[in-house]
């Protein structure tokens, strides 16, 4: 794999998080499978990280390499902490310490005043968001390892999966659950790292899992949301959404689980039976985890709109348009303000009740993160399905230039066009040739 560049300008050869830049994951997972990285995400001001709020301060990461701290009421920046790569991992906070990963391969611990306390190197980018459970820190890396650290940054144990881990773990009864791009959901003893069971899906698992009432739920690129027995890993039910499910899942709320799909829909299912209660159609892929607040659901879509729905019915209450897709960031809500980031380089604060803009903050770079092809890595003998090759206008050995401008990408290109072509991971993942 090419060495990661640490500079803050030009092309940065990181693999974009497959849950965020779907064209990259589609080509890599469907057509290239285990080939070397062929796509990269460049430095820019786009926001992929989700926010947290603590004592009136909002914390979030961005592709400008910074962790930002803003005043909740005004949106004024209090401080920013520089890493050496895009920060798509969502931060967590515990006892005055912020933990977050970066594409530079490090997990960081930063004080609430913005000072580095320690960092831990994993060898590859970190998209997985860290979770603290029983005073230990858990997260995955594209290195293929899942890590358990002490809160002082010392390795307690690590577990090797068969491929990259970009999902965020969930916990229950002393167990940790996480998915991997080797198609498996794993259950480990959270104290020792011993594997208790694993369940193989039909395709990559980029979705976060969630645990409720002795069950664990997760989505997969094989189009299914599954419900398993959390103790044994036995399948209880599955729901086929008709398109990949790589969104972050909601927690089960009032017996209902909510999730998005590449077909642009947000679904509400009965968590006990898997029965569909309703589905809401947006204009593009939905990756973000919906947030429940006072009977309303809040989430963003790759169609550039941020939505507020009635949780019980799926009826639209209001929507707010940003300048680019909202491919990942789930919202935080504090003091009646809903907070989220967009690929347009801005971080937004809206009134939760009305959708009215309270303030917005532009990150340190005013251009969107480019999605680039590294032509030296592409195998020119690779065979793509004909409709994929025609639809994406791929010329092997050359850069793909399907953005509207440098540093931007088209929503229809990344989302709707892929949906129109009805790309199917299970059907196409083996259709390739190597030298």
pLDDT at position 371, please?
Answer: 60
Does residue 383 carry a pLDDT above 80? no
Residue 162 pLDDT greater than 50, yes or no: yes
Answer yes or no: is 414 within a domain.
Answer: yes
Residue-level pLDDT at 41:
61
Q: Which is higher by pLDDT, 155 or 418?
A: 155
Which tens digits make up the pLDDT trace of 93-133?
A: 999 999 999 999 999 999 999 999 999 999 999 999 999 99
Residue 10 has pLDDT above 50, yes or no: no
Predicted TM-score (pTM) of this structure: 0.80
pLDDT confidence tier of residue 184, bands split at 50, 70 and 90: very high
* 385-433: pLDDT as tens digits: 443 334 333 333 333 333 222 222 333 333 333 333 233 323 323 222 2
- Binning pLDDT at 50, 70 and 90, where does residue 330 land? confident
Residue 45 lies in a domain: no
What total of structural domains would you count in the chain? 1
Task: State the Cα–Cα distance between residues 61 and 434, nearest whole angstrom.
Answer: 38
Residue 380 lies inside a defined structural domain of this protein: yes
In a domain, residue 26? The reply is: yes
Instruction: Round the average pLDDT of the chain to a whole number and report it.
Output: 81
In the predicted model, is pLDDT for residue 327 greater than 90? no
Whether residue 378 is contained in a domain is answered as: yes
Per mean pLDDT, which range of 72-76, 200-204, 336-340, 427-431 is the poorest? 427-431
Q: pLDDT grade, residue 250 (50/70/90)?
A: confident
Note the pLDDT tens digit of each residue in 265-277.
Answer: 999 999 999 999 9
What is the per-residue pLDDT for 63? 94
Rounded Cα gap, residues 208 and 277, in angstroms: 21
Q: What pLDDT does residue 367 have?
A: 87
pLDDT bucket at 43, cuts 50 / 70 / 90: confident
Look at residue 19 in the predicted model and tell me its pLDDT: 33
Q: What is the pLDDT of residue 372?
A: 54
Spatial CA neighbour of 86 closest among 131, 41, 53, 55: 41
User: Could you tell me if residue 264 is inside a domain?
Assistant: no
> Does residue 357 lie within any of the structural domains?
no
Contact 161, 144 (CB under 8 A): yes
Q: Taking residues 220-226, what's their average pLDDT?
A: 96
Question: Mean pLDDT over residues 144-163, rounded?
Answer: 97
Q: Do the domain assignments include residue 389?
A: yes
Q: How confident is the model at residue 366 (pLDDT cuts 50, 70, 90)?
A: confident
Alpha-carbon gap, residue 319 to 419, rounded angstroms: 22
Interval 36-42 mean pLDDT: 46
Tell me which residue range forms the domain holding 424. Answer: 22-40+370-428
């Amino acid at each position: 794999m090419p060495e990661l560049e640490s500079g803050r300008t030009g092309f940065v050869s990181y693999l974009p998080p497959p849950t965020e830049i779907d064209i990259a994951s589609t080509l890599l997972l469907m057509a290239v499978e285990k080939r070397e990285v062929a796509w990269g995400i460049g430095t820019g001001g786009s926001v992929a990280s989700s926010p947290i709020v603590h004592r009136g301060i909002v914390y979030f990461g961005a592709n400008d390499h910074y962790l930002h701290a803003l005043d909740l009421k005004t949106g004024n920046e209090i401080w920013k902490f520089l890493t050496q790569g895009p920060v798509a991992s969502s931060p967590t906070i515990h006892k005055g310490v912020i933990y977050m990963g970066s594409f530079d391969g490090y997990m960081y611990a930063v004080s609430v005043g913005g000072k580095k306390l320690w960092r831990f190197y994993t060898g590859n980018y970190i998209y997985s968001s860290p979770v603290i459970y029983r005073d230990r820190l858990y997260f995955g890396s594209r290195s293929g390892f899942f890590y358990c650290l002490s809160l002082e940054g010392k390795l307690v144990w690590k577990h090797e999966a068969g491929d990259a881990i970009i999902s965020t773990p969930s916990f229950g009864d002393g167990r940790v659950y996480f998915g991997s791009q080797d198609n498996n959901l794993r259950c480990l003893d959270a104290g020792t790292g011993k594997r208790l069971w694993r369940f193989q899906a039909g395709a990559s698992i980029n979705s976060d899992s969630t645990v409720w009432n002795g069950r664990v739920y997760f989505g997969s690129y094989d189009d299914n949301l599954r419900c398993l027995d959390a103790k044994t890993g036995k399948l209880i039910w599955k729901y086929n959404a008709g398109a990949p499910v790589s969104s972050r899942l909601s927690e089960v709320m009032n017996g209902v689980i909510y999730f998005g799909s590449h077909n642009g829909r947000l679904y509400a299912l009965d968590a006990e039976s898997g029965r569909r209660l309703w589905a809401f159609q947006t204009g593009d892929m939905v990756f973000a985890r919906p947030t429940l607040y006072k009977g309303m659901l809040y989430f963003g879509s790759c169609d550039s709109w941020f939505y507020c729905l009635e949780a019980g019915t799926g009826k639209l209450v209001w929507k707010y348009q940003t300048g680019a897709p909202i491919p990942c960031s789930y919202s935080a809500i504090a003091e009646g303000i809903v907070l989220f980031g967009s690929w347009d380089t801005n971080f937004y604060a809206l009134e939760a009740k009305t959708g009215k803009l309270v303030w917005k903050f532009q990150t340190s770079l005013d251009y969107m993160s480019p999605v680039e092809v590294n032509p030296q890595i592409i195998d020119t003998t690779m065979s793509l399905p004909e409709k994929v090759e025609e639809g994406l206008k791929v010329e092997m050995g050359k850069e793909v230039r399907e953005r509207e401008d440098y540093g931007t990408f088209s929503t229809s290109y990344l989302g709707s066009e892929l949906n129109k072509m009805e790309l199917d991971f299970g059907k196409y993942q083996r259709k390739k040739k190597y030298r």
